[in-house]
A and B are shown apart, each in its own frame.
Chain A
Amino acid sequence: DAKTTQPPSMDCAEGRAANLPCNHSTISGNEYVYWYRQIHSQGPQYIIHGLKNNETNEMASLIITEDRKSSTLILPHATLRDTAVYYCIVRGLTSGTYKYIFGTGTRLKVLA
């Protein structure tokens, strides 16, 4: 199973870009990278996902390195409401079944 490594915590000033890194050095060619966030014990909220190409939506951008061994989630203008735990997840086929393999998450604190 591919696993992810994330820094346990990060701070970011309000209005600045938050760049959250994730290492997934054992990722396989057909495994997707997903990002979710969880705000204070609510259910995880889907943010974005990608396979090889960089992706952007209304919430964030996902930058995946060419060798696919790492990725960065970018929140372009962080607000206080972005304070949450951010999970980098590899989703792949494991024992014939697709499963999410959660990382330990990065606790992002956006500072006023």
Chain B
Amino acid sequence: DTEVTQTPKHLVMGMTNKKSLKCEQHMGHRAMYWYKQKAKKPPELMFVYSYEKLSINESVPSRFSPECPNSSLLNLHLHALQPEDSALYLCASSQEIRETQYFGPGTRLLVL
């Protein structure tokens, strides 16, 4: 089983809203990732968690706030986003930080 689930599938939010994206895996993986993908571009790494601790922050603006409450769950809290933040947000997980990553289906975000 290599399933990573993400909710919601689609999200529309205004620039003053606060929302959260959720990612879950039950494969016992200890590394989890957030990527952002703009149309017709490859995914770009945002954050990496390893053993529930933030390992990498790729200089992401503070309006994006990650959280890893436990080893199976990864959240991305969104606040005061801009229209240019509209994108597909992908979550991935791997057994360890150096192992093969498995991606979820993504959340398509539209900021109005």
Binding site for B on A (CB under 8 A): 34, 36, 41-46, 49, 87, 91, 97-100, 102-105
Contacts and interface: CB of A to CB of B under 8 A. Distances in A.
B48 A103 contact: no
A98 B43 contact: no
Contact of A41 (B6, B48, B88, B98): B88
B4 A49 contact: no
Interface of B: 2, 4, 6, 41-45, 48, 55-56, 88, 90, 92, 97-98, 100-106, 108
A99 B94 CA distance: 12
Contacts of B48: 97, 99
A34 to B, nearest CB: 7
B105 A42 contact: yes
A97 B55 contact: yes
Contacts of B45: 99-100
Contacts, number: 45
A55 to B, nearest CB: 12
B97 A49 contact: no
Given A41-B88, A43-B92, A98-B97, 15 more contacts: A34-B100, A41-B108, A42-B106, A43-B4, A43-B103, A44-B103, A46-B2, A46-B101, A46-B102, A49-B100, A87-B42, A97-B55, A97-B56, A99-B56, A104-B41
